[in-house]
Structure 1
Amino acid sequence: MLCGMVLILALGIKTFFVQAFSIPSSSMQDTLQPGDRVLVDKLTPWFGATPQRGEVVVFRDPGGWLTEPAHQTRNPALRFLNSTLSFVGLMPSADEKDLIKRVIAVGGDTVECRRGSPVKVNGIPLKEPYIFRSATPCDDLPVGTVKVPPDHLWVMGDHRNDSWDSRAHVHEPEGGFVPVDHVIGRAFAVVWPIPRWAALPAIEEHQK
């Protein structure tokens, strides 16, 4: 009975409060490294909170952003254990179809992303201390000026030269924008590996 109660509690936490996700690529370096495990706050959206600029969010694939299947171990015992732990939210799912990026702009914002210039939101240059040390704000994928529709987000990876983000999907049906209702939650902490334990606060990007 105790095990059943623990299982129900774990499922409730996963469904309504917090869930673990794995970082599959280098698109968010140096903020997040491949193999990092992050905790995602799923509670605040239930109270009407919406993603804010500077937050790192996990969201469902808007369509065509993910092209490679996730890796799964061939060991049956490990696959069962991984499946069980991911089912209750204690470990990321091996077949999750989700992405993680930073929110650069929200509905109603105008984004300028041009070669040789910083990213601008509503005409204001962004100060982005999180960008990977050898990357440029927009040089590899300049898209000019875009207007974010209501209830959508414009997202970009911190490793701009290695991130297949909103910029790469501007010619697709969604225009590179992520519907707010696709957002699973805000990543608020790195919890694995232990030496990388850290909070992931939203970063105020606009220069003062």
Structure 2
Amino acid sequence: MTAYQPGTDEPEEVAPKKGSFLRETAIIVVSALVLSWLIKTFLVQAFYIPSGSMEDTLKESDRILVSKMVPDVFDIHRGDIVVFKDPGGWLSAMPVEDTKGQAFVRDVLTFIGVLPQDAGSHLVKRVIGLPGDTVACCTTDGKVTVNGEAIDETLYLKPGVEPSVVEFEQVVPEGSLWVMGDNRIDSGDSRYNMGGPGGGFVPIDNVVGTAFVKMWPLDRAEWLKNPSEVFRKVPEPQD
């Protein structure tokens, strides 16, 4: 780049400001990383699905976005898909195939929100019972009941899968949830952890947020709406 100086016959060469360019680039990159971390920490976090326990709603390797405004700002509702930390003993140890260097880079990028969180270190299930609810199975026609009201779950259950082959009747404690996977035949959910720590209930404090959109793969991208009509007739729990 050149600039003309008055009183001279030749334009003067102006050296590009490399230091300024690098500094501005660094500021942009750092700002973007900080913004990504803030969004991931307080608003939205990406997860990917490692198993088929929520089929066909969520399939293995799907990417979802989770609102972290729940439960701190907004309430959890029956039918919500929640991501939560293992209450204890729900997950078996997963083999680690990455080298230490790869694991470090992955963990850093996940921490700042550039990479999606592996839901294999958390769990993804659908909320069936809220605090105080009595959840039970099964009616004579094989349905789950909530506070005595049978619910028709065909809207989200994997086709051909029964609501439950495990019988149960539980009252959800204060501050907890009863959760089940949409692929009931292949879901280690509340039913299969009734004898473990917490009795199969998920503390609300363990909830990371609610899934609200499936963003990948693109041909399956969609909003994950709450199936409120399934629970519309469910009465409030009795004190």
Q: State TM-score, norm by structure 1.
A: 0.90
Q: Is 1:125–1:207's contact at 8 Å kept on the other side of the alignment?
A: no
Q: Is 1:61–1:97's contact at 8 Å kept on the other side of the alignment?
A: yes
The one-letter code matched in structure 2 to 1:69 is M
Structure-to-structure mapping, 1:26-175, within 5 angstroms: 26-47=52-73, 49-69=74-94, 72-73=97-98, 79=103, 82-94=106-118, 97-114=121-138, 116-128=141-153, 129-139=155-165, 141-143=166-168, 145-175=169-199
Q: What is the aligned counterpart of 1:14 among 40, 58, 62? A: 40
Structure with the larger helix share = 2
Q: State TM-score, norm by structure 2.
A: 0.79
**CA pair 99-4 structure 1, distance change in 2 beyond 3 A:** same
> 1:49-97 CA distances to partner (integer Å, 9 max, x unpaired)?
23110000000000000003165445956x5653343122132235862
For the pair 1:185 / 2:212, whether they are aligned, the reply is no
Cα distance between partner residues in 2 of 1:113 and 1:12: 42
Secondary structure of 1:195's partner? helix
User: What RMSD in Å do the two structures reach over aligned CA positions?
Assistant: 2.0
Greater Rg, structure 1 or structure 2? 2
Q: Is 2:143–2:163's contact at 8 Å kept on the other side of the alignment?
A: yes
Query: Which structure would you say has the larger RCO, counting Cα contacts within 8 Å and 6 or more residues apart?
Result: 1
**CA pair 94-188 structure 1, distance change in 2 beyond 3 A:** closer
Mean CA deviation greater in 95-104 or 188-197: 95-104
Query: C-alpha displacement at 1:207, in angstroms?
Result: 6.1
> 1:155-197 CA distances to partner (integer Å, 9 max, x unpaired)?
0000000101000011123110000010000000111111111
Cα distance between partner residues in 2 of 1:21 and 1:188: 12
Q: Is 1:22–1:36's contact at 8 Å kept on the other side of the alignment?
A: yes
**CA pair 75-181 structure 1, distance change in 2 beyond 3 A:** closer
Cα distance between partner residues in 2 of 1:151 and 1:93: 25
> 1:26-47 CA distances to partner (integer Å, 9 max, x unpaired)?
1000000000010000024332
Q: Is 1:56–1:102's contact at 8 Å kept on the other side of the alignment?
A: yes
Cα distance between partner residues in 2 of 1:163 and 1:155: 10
Cα distance between partner residues in 2 of 1:19 and 1:162: 26
Q: How many residues align?
A: 204
For the pair 1:196 / 2:217, whether they are aligned, the reply is no
> 1:138-163 CA distances to partner (integer Å, 9 max, x unpaired)?
12x222x1100011000000000010
- Which runs of 5 or more residues in structure 2 are unaligned? 1-26, 234-239
**CA pair 99-80 structure 1, distance change in 2 beyond 3 A:** same
